[in-house]
Amino acid sequence: MDGYDLSDEERELAGLVRQFADEVVAPQAYEADRTKTLSMDVVAQMGELGLFGLPFPEEYGGQGGDYFALGLAIEALGRVDQSIAITLEAGVSLGAMPVFRFGTEEQKRELLPDLLAGRALAGFGLTEPEAGSDAGATRTTARLEAGEWVIDGAKQFITNSGTPITRFVTVTAVTGEQGGRKEISTIIVPNRTPGFTVEAPYDKVGWHASDTHPLTFRGARVPEANLLGERGRGFAGFLHILDEGRIAIAALSTGAAEGCLEAAVDYARQRTVFGEALSTRQSIQFVLARMRQRVHLARLAWHHAARLRDAGKPFKTEAALAKLTASDAAMDNARDATQIFGGNGFMNEYAVARHYRDSKILEIGEGTNEVQLLVVARALGVA
């Protein structure tokens, strides 16, 4: 990461996680992908390194760092295994961050220490079969009855919702009406709550070792005190969380784009075609140069958005630009790397093949790239 204006501490962190990624994460990535198994041992080691607590205050068990530090860690992991990288990203951005941002002091003291130490994970249930970015389409409901929220509905594509250490999910639900519009609140639902079912995992195109499930709620009851944040502000709060999450996804995407570049450069140097290394062909050199360009621009974009966020400045548009730029870079680099690898690029034991499958979701998750374009257009005053 030379030339990217990092502090000595940030360089040390990036190097530490990169070494962990190369020595611990990468060797297990193919088998984890093949068996569709999230390694809880790797998760535990990430917890021991303090990665889940990077952007949180020490008083709750965090590392006292910032979102930029989290991005550095996610990028380093995304280079070798996107499933592990998204486990960290979702564990922080969607699991712990809502509690830190909107929870009561009691909720923070109770829930954050285990989440920040990697001893527990949590999911965030926003997306439904008929609703995602469209809050008005939310159908999951929660009504107060005898001091308890009674929840009915369904959520889908929920990351970290069914691991052995998943402690709870936070779900958005319609809790009434405000001015003729649905009042949407967020409620903490512990795992093993009667009426709450974590359904069988998805058979996904990529991110095979990432834990992802649909959820159903049939009269699930939790205490009224499990409301997270202000009643009726659930979706608004989540939008802020989503803006931060887009920076993290941009960092993950940058790591994936760099992983594809590194693999393609190594392969082009080693692969002999008609008596010459593939890398001697100008057509290949130009492809690799374009790949390097994408990595550079993607990294600059997420760095800028993260620095703005950590400085307390507006960053919504920059987060959208970073997510848009970096996810496109990951998908484009995965395609080019796969082409350079030829037939080997179609074999799952090669990282570029897994990146090719994995990277598509980066253009969809945390708000589709079309949503990012809409955010940017609104900032321009034309939407």
Decide: helix, strand or coil at residue 234: helix
Q: How far apart are CA 153 and CA 120, in angstroms?
A: 25
226-259 core/surface letters (b: 16 or more CB in 10 A; e: else): bbbbebbebbebbeebbbbbbbbbbbbbbbbbbb
- Cα 138 to chain centroid distance, Å, stands at 22
Nearest to 161 by CA among 195, 212, 110: 212
Residue 282, number of CB atoms within 10 A of its CB: 7
Gap between the Cα atoms of 37 and 54, Å rounded: 25
Q: Which two tokens stand for residue 289?
A: 């140069």
Q: Counting beta carbons within 10 angstroms of the beta carbon of residue 215, is it exposed (0 to 12), middle (13 to 18) or buried (19 or more)?
A: buried
Give me Rg for the CA atoms of the chain.
21
CB-CB neighbours of 35 under 10 Å: 11
- Asked whether 305 and 322 are in contact (CB, 8 A), the reply is yes
Give catalytic residue positions: 366
- Tokens found for residue 374: 């809409």
Distance between CA 119 and CA 127 in Å, rounded?
A: 26
Nearest C-alpha neighbor of 49 from the set 120, 123, 118: 118
Pick from 42, 237, 19: nearest CA to 126: 237
Residue type, 122: A
